[in-house]
């Protein structure tokens, strides 16, 4: 990045920390798409994912002064807030009560990616197992950002990705692959 862009982002960060909502919106806007994709995979529900990202955005706005580090640490910090919001959503008592079971064949004709065998196997993983895979392979985050998002060291993040991928591989049987 050029020095001018870095200076601009630092200026936006300092103004956002001082309470400028427009500066915060400018900083957070490029992070909303990866945040929504993360929430959508973790919750498997578009409406709940939108709500989780919205709640995470509000929490990030309120806690922006607690962000340690530079502007580069904003993305992992925000994604960790989104992941925590998704975990809290799944913990609620109403999560399993309100959700209606999916009717088989109801979504045929929709995107093939949502009904793929890989997606089904991914959804069989627990949210904690799914999170490192989604961060690294789906959101294309480098290992150090995955580690910061998870709040662990880079070797621990690499280990979690490896274990989750191994578990995912074992869930895909030979028939599902072909």
d(CA 7, CA 12): 9
Q: For the chain, give the percent of residues with pLDDT over 90.
A: 26
Q: Helix, strand, coil shares of the chain as percentages rounded to 5?
A: 75, 0, 25
Give CATH for domain 110-178: 1.10.10.10
pTM of the model: 0.67
Q: Do domains 1-98 and 110-178 have the same CATH topology?
A: no
- What's the pLDDT score for residue 57? 93
Structure confidence by residue, pLDDT tens digits, 113-162: 445 777 788 888 888 888 899 889 888 889 999 998 888 999 999 999 99
Q: What is the domain partition of the chain in residue ranges? A: 1-98, 110-178
Q: Provide CB contacts within 8 A for 174, sequence distance 6+.
A: none
Structure confidence by residue, pLDDT tens digits, 95-105: 555 555 555 55
> CA-CA distances (angstroms) from residue 108 to 68, 84, 95, 169?
46, 32, 25, 25
Q: Provide CB contacts within 8 A for 87, sequence distance 6+.
A: 42, 127
167: helix, coil or strand? helix
Candidate CATH numbers 1.10.287.130, 1.10.150.570, 1.10.1740.10, 2.70.70.10; the one for domain 1-98 = 1.10.1740.10
């Amino acid at each position: 990045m050029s020095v001018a862009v870095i200076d601009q982002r630092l200026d936006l960060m300092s103004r956002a920390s001082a309470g400028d909502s427009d500066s915060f919106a400018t900083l957070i806007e490029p992070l909303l798409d990866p945040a929504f994709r993360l929430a959508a995979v973790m919750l498997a529900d578009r409406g709940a994912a939108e709500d989780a990202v919205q709640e995470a955005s509000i929490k990030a706005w309120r806690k922006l002064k607690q962000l340690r580090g530079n502007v580069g640490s904003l993305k992992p910090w925000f994604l960790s807030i989104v992941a925590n919001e998704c975990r809290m959503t799944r913990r609620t008592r109403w999560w399993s009560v309100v959700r209606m079971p999916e009717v088989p064949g109801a979504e045929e004709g929709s995107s093939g990616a949502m009904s793929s065998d890989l997606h089904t196997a991914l959804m069989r993983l627990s949210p904690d197992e799914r999170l490192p895979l989604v961060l690294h392979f789906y959101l294309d985050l480098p290992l150090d950002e995955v580690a910061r998002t998870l709040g662990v060291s880079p070797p621990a993040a690499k280990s979690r990705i490896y274990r989750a991928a191994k578990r995912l591989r074992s869930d895909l049987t030979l028939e599902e692959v072909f």
